[in-house]
Structure 1
Amino acid sequence: MDFKTQGSSLKVLVIEDCEFQSWVLLAKLRRFSCQTTRAKNGREAVDLYLEGKKFDIILCDKEMPIMKGPEAIVKIRSMGSTMGSTEVKIVGMSADSNATEEFMSVGADMFVPKPMDFEVLEAIIKEVINKKNNGVV
């Protein structure tokens, strides 16, 4: 299946401090022809937005050094539509299955437990592509 949308692949930001978890997730995303960027903590992710970078999807871990995932989501969402932070689909991820409420209360669109299922990732990508192709985003 071709996951490219209108000639360009989705831009996905992975915010994850664990090298192995990042590697696995980035490898899965490349199978879907996504352009990937990794931030090792929330501060790096916020800095990418401040530099003018825009993403279609953010996959955000909860527990990280320097700035935790939920705090980064609050900061990214507060940047508003001029920074592309309101349209981006933000997915909170954690091995802590009780993190759902924390992520949803700060502006995440959904929560998935770690490790993320390949099928769940595929569904998220399809949803964002469909929205882009239908002009919703």
Structure 2
Amino acid sequence: MASPVKVLIIEDTRLDAMVVSAMLHKFHCEITMAMNGKESVDLFIEGRKFDIIFCDKDMPIMSGPEAIDKIRAMGESDVKIVGLSANNNAQEVFINVGADVFVPKPMKFDVLKDMIQEVINKKNNSMV
């Protein structure tokens, strides 16, 4: 059996984090939470690895796009990064700093399911 998908949720709004987390639990993901961009960057500095990141845009201390920029600058090119925002103008910002995809909030279960399945398939294929 493959190891669980390691997910990092970067979200300062507790309810939003819980909604994404609840959806991810259906896929038996290993979930780590960060309340802002700085916390997420610190996890990478500590050497933590993730398969996929769900990142909010506007947060205190360090925004999502700033965090993604720093994470990509550390050479983390394999991790799939999903930008999340209720702000429609956020897509360009996220893609410009290295996010793989942008999803408007609230995220729909089917969208999340497809992304997690893609990551699972990628993990399974890399083990072959």
Whether TM exceeds 0.5 here: the answer is yes
Q: Which amino acid aligns with 1:131?
A: K
1:114 is aligned to 2:120 = no
Amino acid at match of 1:38: M
**Paired letter, 1:121:** L
Q: Over residues 69-101 of structure 1, what are the superposed CA-to-partner deviations in whole Å (9 max), with x where a residue is unaligned?
A: 000000000111xxxx21000000000012111
Give the superposed CA RMSD: 1.1
Higher alpha-carbon deviation: 60-69 or 123-132: 123-132
Gaps of 5+ in 1: 1-5
Give runs of aligned pairs for residues 1-137 of structure 1, distance below 5 A.
6-80=1-75, 85-135=76-126
After TM superposition, the runs of 4+ consecutive aligned structure 1 residues lying more than 6 A away are none
TM-score between both structures, scaled by the size of structure 2: 0.96
Q: Tell me the SS of whatever aligns to 1:58.
A: strand
Give how far 1:8 is off. 1.4
Percent of pairs with identical residues? 61
Report the AA paired with residue 19 of structure 1.
R
Contact kept in structure 1, 2:2 and 2:124, CA below 8 Å: no
Structure 1 residue 7 displacement after superposition:
2.9
Classify the secondary structure of the residue corresponding to 2:42: helix
Query: Hey, what's the Cα distance between the residues in 2 that align with 1:7 and 1:107?
Result: 27
Quick one: which amino acid aligns to residue 98 of structure 1?
N
CA shift for structure 1 position 34 = 0.2
C-alpha distance in 2, partners of 1:104/1:20? 25
Q: Which AA in structure 1 matches 2:80? A: K
Structure 1 length normalisation: TM-score? 0.90
